[in-house]
Amino acid sequence: MTDPFAPSLSRNAPEFTVGELSLALKRTVEQAYEHLRVKGEISGCKRHSSGHIYFCLKDSDAVLDAVCWRGSAGRLAVTPEDGMEVVASGRLTTYPGRSKYQMVVDSLELAGQGALLKLLEDRRRRLAGEGLFDPARKKKLPFLPKVIGVVTSPTGAVIRDILHRLADRFPRPVLLWPVAVQGEGAAAEVAAAIEGFNALPVGGAVPRPDLLIVARGGGSLEDLWAFNEEVVVRAAAASVIPLISAVGHETDTTLIDFAADLRAPTPTGAAEMAVPVRRELLARLAELAQRQDAAALRLLDERRQRLLGLGRGLGDPARRLAELGRQLAGWQDRLVNALPNLLHRRRALLGQWAARLPSPHQQIKEKRHQLEAPAQRLGVMLDRGLQQKRAALDRLAAVLESLSYEQVLRRGFALVRDRAGQPVSAPEAAKAGERWTVTFDAGKTVPVVVEGELPTARRPTAGDGRQGKLL
């Protein structure tokens, strides 16, 4: 057995804190793997809102975490996607907080031709599924554009070939948007150039092109890869200005060819598609002018011959005028005789109608008789009504006369009035010294003076058979 009190060799080893050990490992790893290239398949690729890209590189044996910071992500020649086999260049570093290590990626490139072709086919199918390559989206090229925009490298032979071919066929103003056509950032520059041409205002200081040509010379699949990037394809598909793709040689095919409105086999071919041949147009115009002149001469000759034929069919104008004159004279004679005959017939017809009409005096007499008979009947009815009303009035007057107080006075009664002329109807109203008037029959009135109060008379009761007081 080991003596627990015996001195241990491990106790003589240097002692580290956790932080010191982590820092020592970080320096060792970063110094030993300051620059390396790692081949693997991308998995779990995620682009953060900050612009950083996080993913893993894996093979059948292990998995390596990787990160591409925002500054490097914008310069990547290849946009990382899951399943892509790549060769990543960068360095190793550690993360002491989690005892982990990861690779900081500075650049990416596809690993092998097979991987490139597989990625290209997968991307083509996905973009085609979105309708970016639909033939219905293709726009018709202008017959003769006023300004042509070219997106290519300013130093290559491509721009010289395009300008030379345009000068030979039909010189047109050309706007060059210089871009990198290969390497890191090339895809972003090409997409920005297409979008920039489309953003130019119509009628602005810089003329807006009527046609765009995106061109590049031939090369390998890796050299042309910028034109397979999704950002370039989407920019070409979204271009409002018609676009010709002229990337590589005739046998080279890139995804921008599918999104463009027309694909040219070469940059020189794109210039030939962009404009017609001026000399051919002039020759065609001259030919059309000659044909037009010949057609006009033929038409004039045909019209002249027709006019002559029609003239021969008309006959002698003087003879025709004489015939028409004789017809006119005959019509004049008929017209002169027709007017008196018409008046005579109309006068006879008027006489017949006048004979059928009755005499106006007779009509007036009949109408007066018709009016007098109702008037006589109305007078009789009025007289009869007046007599009836008069008899009724007399009866009412007799009734009124029989009810008059004067008839009462004739029967021996008298009417007593006070000084104010009001009738006195009760003895209680008598006061000594008052002056009354007494009216008898035939309107005789006698003034009297009351000397004393009259005795109150007892009112007779109803039905006692005695005469009541009238006043």
Please tell me the predicted confidence (pLDDT) of residue 352. 84
Residues 162 and 270 in one domain: yes
User: HEC string of 334-385?
Assistant: HHHHHHHHHHHHHHHHHHHHHHHCCCHHHHHHHHHHHHHHHHHHHHHHHHHH
106 domain residue, yes or no: yes
Instruction: Find the distance separating the first CA and the last CA of the chain, reported in whole Å.
Output: 172
**Range with lowest mean pLDDT among 142-156, 157-171, 387-401:** 387-401
Structural domain contains residue 122: no
Q: According to the 3-state scheme, what is the secondary structure of the chain?
A: CCCCCCCCHHHHCCCCCHHHHHHHHHHHHHHHCCCEEEEEEEEEEEECCCCCEEEEEECCCCEEEEEECHHHHCCCCCCCCCCCEEEEEEEEEEECCCCEEEEEEEEEEECCHHHHHHHHHHHHHHHHHCCCCCHHHCCCCCCCCCCEEEEECCCCHHHHHHHHHHHHHCCCCEEEEECCCCCCCHHHHHHHHHHHHHHCCCCCCCCCCCEEEEEECCCCCCCCHHHHCHHHHHHHHHCCCCEEEEECCCCCCCHHHHHCCEECCCHHHHHHHHCCCHHHHHHHHHHHHHHHHHHHHHHHHHHHHHHHHHHHHHCCHHHHHHHHHHHHHHHHHHHHHHHHHHHHHHHHHHHHHHHHCCCHHHHHHHHHHHHHHHHHHHHHHHHHHHHHHHHHHHHHHHHHHHCCHHHHHHCCCCEEECCCCCECCCHHHCCCCCEEEEECHHHCEEEEECCCCCCCCCCCCCCCCCCCCCC
Does residue 57 surpass a pLDDT of 50?
yes
Task: Return d(Cα 387, Cα 369) in angstroms, integer.
Answer: 28
Q: How is the beta sheet containing 148-152 ordered, strand by strand?
A: 174-178, 148-152, 211-216, 243-247, 262-263
Residue where one domain finishes, among candidates 111, 128, 156: 111
Task: Determine how many CB atoms are found less than 10 A away from the CB of residue 47.
Answer: 15
Residues 89 and 216 in one domain: no
Residue 130 has pLDDT above 50, yes or no: yes
Q: Same structural domain for residues 71 and 167? A: no
Residue finishing a domain among 68, 93, 111: 111
What burial letters (b/e) apply to 51-69, b meaning 16+ CB within 10 Å? eebebbbeeeeeebebbbe
Q: For residue 264, is it within any domain?
A: yes
Q: How many domains does the chain have?
A: 3
Same structural domain, 104 and 168: no
Strands 243-247, 53-58: parallel, antiparallel or unpaired by DSSP? unpaired
Based on the fold, state whether residues 189 and 273 are members of the same structural domain.
yes
For residue 326, what pLDDT band results from cuts at 50, 70 and 90? confident
Amino acid at 238: A
| 69 domain residue, yes or no | yes
Comparing 360 with 272, the larger pLDDT belongs to 272
Residue 120 makes CB contacts below 8 A (sequence gap 6+) with 221, 228, 255
Which amino acid would we find at residue 101? Y
State the number of CA atoms in the 13 A half-sphere of 324 facing the CB.
6
96 and 145 together in one domain: no
Per-residue pLDDT tens over the stretch 225-235: 889 999 999 99
Q: Give residue 105's domain range.
A: 16-111
Question: CA 402 to CA 172: how far, in whole Å?
Answer: 136
Same domain as 143, residue 83:
no
Are 145 and 218 part of one and the same domain? yes
Q: How far is the C-alpha of 111 from the C-alpha of 39, rounded, in Å? A: 7
User: How high is the mean pLDDT of the chain?
Assistant: 84
469 within a domain of the structure (yes/no) = no
Given a cut of 50, is residue 39 above it in pLDDT?
Answer: yes
More confident residue, 69 or 436: 69
User: Computed from CA positions of residues 184, 189, 192, 194, in that sequence, does the dihedral angle turn out positive or negative?
Assistant: negative
Q: State how far the alpha carbon of 42 is from the alpha carbons of 35, 285, 308, 341, in Å.
A: 20, 61, 92, 120
Residues 232 and 149 placed together within one structural domain of the fold: yes
Residues 224-250 have a mean pLDDT of: 92
Label the pairing between strands 435-439 and 445-449: antiparallel
Strand-pairing partners, residue 211, are 148
Here the CATH number for the domain that contains residue 256 is 3.40.50.261
Per-residue pLDDT, averaged over 307-332, amounts to: 82
CATH of the domain at 67: 2.40.50.140
Question: Which of residues 279, 297, 317 is at a domain's end?
Answer: 279
Judge whether 174 lies within some domain: yes
Is residue 328, in this structure, part of any structural domain at all? no
At 1, is the pLDDT very low, low, confident or very high (cuts 50, 70, 90)? very low
User: 221, 224, 230: which is closest to 191 by C-alpha?
Assistant: 230
Among 69-73, 215-219, 383-387, 417-421, the minimum mean pLDDT is found in 417-421
**pLDDT 10s digits, 391-434:** 999 888 888 877 777 777 777 778 788 877 788 777 777 777 77
| Whether residue 105 is found in the same domain as residue 147 | no
pTM for the predicted model, two decimal places = 0.48
Q: Do residue 161 and residue 225 come from a single domain? A: yes
Question: By the 8 A CB rule, do 90 and 103 touch?
Answer: yes
The pLDDT, as a whole number, for residue 451 is 67
185 and 256 housed in the same domain: yes
Residue 116 lies in a domain: no
Residue 432 burial (CB count, 10 A)? 10
Burial of residue 149 (number of CB atoms within 10 Å: 0-12, 13-18, 19+): buried
Tell me, rounded to whole angstroms, the distance of Cα 34 from its chain centroid. 64
